[in-house]
Amino acid sequence: MGVPETDGNRFDSISPLIMSRNEVNMQEKRIEQILETLTLEEKCAMLHGATFFRSGAVEEKGIPAVETSDGPMGVRNEFPGDSWFPVGLSDDFVSYLPSNSALAATWNPRRACETGQVLGEEARGRGKDVILAPGINIKRDPLCGRNFEYMSEDPYLIRELVVPLIRGIQEADVAACVKHFAANSQETDRLWVDTVVDERTLREIYLPGFEAAVHRGGTYSLMNAYNKLNGEHCSESKALLNRILREEWGYDGTVISDWGSVHTTVSAAESALDMEMSVTANFDDYYFARPLVEAVNRGEASVEDVDRKVRNILRMMLRLKMIGPESGERKQGAYNTPAHRETIKAAARESIVLLKNQGGLLPISPERLQPGAPDALTGHRKKKRIAVIGRNAEHMHSGGGGSAEIKALYEISPLLGLKMELGGNVDIRYAPGYYIPGKKSVNEANWQETSLERQVSRRRDQEETEEEARVRREIEKQRERLRREAVALAETADEVIFVGGLNHDYDVEGWDRDSMALPYAQDILIEELLAAHPDTVVVMVAGSPVEMPWKDRARAIVWNYYAGMESGTALAEILLGRVCPSGKLPETFPALYADTVTCKNGEFGKPERVVYKEGIFVGYRYYEREEIHPAFAFGHGLSYTSFSYDRLEVETAEACLAQGDLRERLVKVSLDVTNTGAVAGGEVVQCYVGDVSCSVERPKKELKAFAKVFLEPGETARIHMELSREAFAFYDVERHGFAAEPGEFILSVGGASDRIWRQETVTLG
């Protein structure tokens, strides 16, 4: 059985751009020299879209346009620039990368770095300067339509993955554009909703990913969110952009607006936003276009603010070698290379999470697929039959989701993957099992513009019309027919694999789901399949959790986030035991939507104003406090092998907890991990910290370190995890800073948040 290899922190060899003081001075001098040559009109031309994805150039002065493109799962196809109907080129097919949720499920910084490298190289290969990725908003509620684009409910996991991802991207002389800054965790009323978040929650949960992107990732650009934060639109928030991002974090890169998120000229000009992009073709009327020139001329906006913005853009251009002495040395990039596909496949393999495997039902071993006994007369051996049931077995996901859509060079579906792996000696039969009606929503090609209209962002809760009721009855009939066919097929099969879940009608930008239930009556189908063939393997392809009422009856459940062009190959390899699963959930899967804190406090998916009443108790921090057992816990993921942990050692530094650099290492946790099973496999060792007593309420435990290790059968590795002062700190609202209180802390080490092997108390003075 093959295993994906990893050597841990390879990304460390790629550091963000580090310049000497002298180089910085030279760079800033050059920026001033260029700035001096520009007229106000020319400066403002650089500050806004001249097409949908390109800023204005000042060609006479040697300043090129900034070419941007979505996005997170690969480089998006080309648009004419003033219309949302794709050009329809034959040369903009690209590699389709794992979504951020898939990447997060690898729990592997190396995979994040490599995926970033692919994205950066492809973006550069397609002539882009800025790739509008990664999206790192917190998964606050399972129903957020864009959860599939985001990584996790946990800020530490996000931080550890976003840094290598950005470094990987920017290695190709392309800017990452980390989005959406900040607290953009719902799609409903996304342009206008006021997200009310208290200071501690913002600092502990919603900002750390962005802070790491700036400080450790060195991101060259960042995108503001659509929503308001505590009353101010993020596109012009003085608190967020001016004070936190620029003053406190010292960010000197470019801030790009989300498309259509700017609402004023003067206020936005005063904020630390640099470039306005939007979805309509009236480019000269953008707030940062003619209106800004006029506002400056009238004395309402200042030329100093305009200059600051131009400087930030020029600085990004110099860093990207778009201009300046090194511009002849800019990397050329490449797209659709075989190496990219291998990297994508490796990440996909590690992203698949084995949720349940009772009695070792998986993998489907070669022995199980050997043909039957020879016929007495002819010697013919009857092939084994696999019934593959469910539309997601053949559905292509790459072309959907909103701005994350991709014109994939190809996409291997689960069915194709299985057939490619097994060849002609197994009889693989497919039945769709359920029916997917056509999309009822917005004018598809132009969704990007219409999705910003207020009524489109409403939840789907209108009353059913008579016509809709007729269509629904028709659909129910279709579903019943498909279900009967599927169950009949399952009855004749030796192995049954159901592949269902969601698709980008549900995991989609501009909409939140209105329920965590599986759509298309899949639950009924799954129950019937399990009755007909109790050993049915259930595979869920989806970007966000679903309720699984059949979970106790199904013996094997596999979770497959949208994992890119080789997703089907990776899934087949895992189902057939050619690769050992090593993915872990980067988010909690609650048993019921009713168990979520946001359902209980009613503060999700509302228009106008959403108060984050749960504070820092997001995801497992909440379930653990309330002792609610989720369907599958944060960090959960099974393997085909087993691991034992041994020889835990906790070394504590003499340093004082209350003072000093937050990054200073205070505790080192070491342990042996041994592969005690029969096959090679990977394990993610997780270390959580809990404060025994504190002046403020804190979570029982919080992820503060992890390490992924791959081991041959019988092999042992010693794992070292380091905890800095930061790992023990909370945000103290009195002092407006992180602080740690001396005393006892519990370190919990294990293979999942609910599978803790050992707890150790440390006392920090």
Six-digit token pair at 359? 């009695």
Q: Which is nearer to ligand BGC, 265 or 448 (CB)?
A: 448
Q: Compare residues 164 and 401 and give the one whose CB is closer to ligand BGC.
A: 401
**Minimum Å distance from CB 258 to ligand BGC?**
5
Residue ranges in 293-322 that form contacts with ligand BGC under rule CB under 6 A: none
**147 is a contact residue toward ligand BGC (CB under 6 A):** no
- DSSP H or E run through 338: helix 338-351
- Given the residues 258, 494, 512, 691, the one annotated as active site: 258
Longest dimension (CA), the chain: 98
Residue 188 in contact with residue 605, Cβ under 8 Å? yes
- Which of residues 128 and 708 has its CB atom nearest to ligand BGC in the complex? 128
Rounded to the nearest whole angstrom, what is the least distance from the CB of residue 406 to ligand BGC in the complex?
12
- Distance in Å, CB of 71 to ligand BGC, minimum: 5
- Contact between 126 and ligand BGC per CB under 6 A: no
Least Å distance, CB 331 to ligand BGC, is: 23
By C-beta, is 4 or 145 nearer to ligand BGC?
145
Is position 401 an interface residue for ligand BGC (rule: CB under 6 A)?
no
366 prior amide bond cis, ω within 30: no
197 CB-near residues (< 8 Å, 6+ apart):
183, 206, 229, 230, 612
Read off the DSSP letter of residue 495: E
CB-based contact 400:508 (threshold 8 Å): yes
Kindly list the distances between the CA atom of residue 385 and the CA atoms of 20, 368, 425, in Å, as whole numbers in the listed order: 65, 10, 10
Compare residues 71 and 74 and give the one whose CB is closer to ligand BGC. 71
- Binding to ligand BGC by residue 258, rule CB under 6 A? yes
Q: What is the CA radius of gyration of the chain?
A: 26
Tell the smallest beta-carbon distance from residue 647 to ligand BGC (Å): 46
Rounded to 5 degrees, what angle do the CA atoms 671, 676, 678 make?
Answer: 145
Enumerate helices (H) and strands (E) in the chain, giving the number of each. 18, 24
Q: Give how many residues touch ligand BGC by CB under 6 A.
A: 8
Nearest CA to 530 among 349, 356, 351? Answer: 356
Are residues 481 and 434 in contact, defined by beta-carbon separation less than 8 angstroms?
no
255-265 burial, b if ≥16 CB within 10 A, otherwise e? bbbbbbbbeeb
Answer for the pair 430, 472: CB distance below 8 angstroms, yes or no. no
Distance of closest approach, residue 384 Cβ to ligand BGC, in angstroms = 46
d(CA 96, CA 564): 5
Q: Closest Cα to residue 562, out of 637, 502, 619, 522? A: 502
Residues 329-368 within binding reach of ligand BGC (CB under 6 A)? none
CA angle 155, 19, 321 (to 5 degrees): 90
Respond yes or no: is residue 258 known to be catalytic. yes
| 195/604 Cα distance (integer angstroms) | 10
Q: Which residues pair with 751 in a beta bridge?
A: none
Nearest distance from residue 586's CB to ligand BGC, in Å?
20
Residue 54 is a binding residue for ligand BGC (CB under 6 A)? no
Site for ligand BGC in 429-488 (CB under 6 A): 448
94, 97, 102, 132: which one binds ligand BGC (CB under 6 A)? 132
Alpha helices in 190-326 (DSSP H): 199-201, 208-215, 266-270, 290-297, 303-319
What's the one-letter identity of residue 75?
Answer: V
Of 219 and 403, which CB lies nearer to ligand BGC in the complex structure? 403
Q: Which of 70, 211, 505, 683 binds ligand BGC (CB under 6 A)?
A: 70
Q: 259 vs 623, which CB is nearer to ligand BGC?
A: 259
For residue 222, list its beta bridge partners: 178, 255
d(CA 280, CA 732) in angstroms, rounded, equals 43
- Asked if 179 interacts with ligand BGC (CB under 6 A), we say yes
Nearer to ligand BGC, 169 or 719 (CB): 169
- Whole-number minimum distance, CB 761 to ligand BGC, in Å? 44
Residues in 579-618 that interact with ligand BGC by CB under 6 A: none
Query: Which is nearer to ligand BGC, 222 or 241 (by Cβ)?
Result: 222
Q: In whole angstroms, what is the distance from residue 324 CA to residue 33 CA?
A: 12
For ligand BGC, which is the closer residue by CB, 138 or 667?
138
What is the rounded end-to-end Cα distance, in angstroms, of the chain? 48
In the complex, least distance from residue 294 CB atom to ligand BGC, rounded to whole angstroms: 27
Instruction: Report the residue from 4, 49, 56, 71 that binds ligand BGC according to the rule CB under 6 A.
Output: 71
Phi, psi of 584 (to 5 degrees): -135, 150
SS (H, E, C) 350-402: HHCEEEEEHHHCCCCCHHHHCCCCECCCCCCECCEEEEEECHHHCCCCCCCCC
**Helices 155-170 + 109-125 axis angle, to 10:** 40
Distance CA 2, CA 310 (A): 52
Shortest distance in whole angstroms from residue 513 CB to ligand BGC:
17
Between 69 and 582, CB nearer to ligand BGC: 69
Instruction: Work out whether 233 is an interface residue with ligand BGC (CB under 6 A).
Output: no
Minimum distance, C-beta of residue 238 to ligand BGC, in the bound complex (Å): 22
Regarding 259 and contact with ligand BGC (CB under 6 A), the answer is yes
CB of 447 to ligand BGC, least distance (A): 9
Between 111 and 179, whose beta carbon lies closer to ligand BGC?
Answer: 179
Question: Is 115 one of the binding residues for ligand BGC (CB under 6 A)?
Answer: no
Q: Catalytic residue numbers?
A: 258
Residues that bind ligand BGC (CB under 6 A): 70-71, 132, 179, 258-259, 403, 448
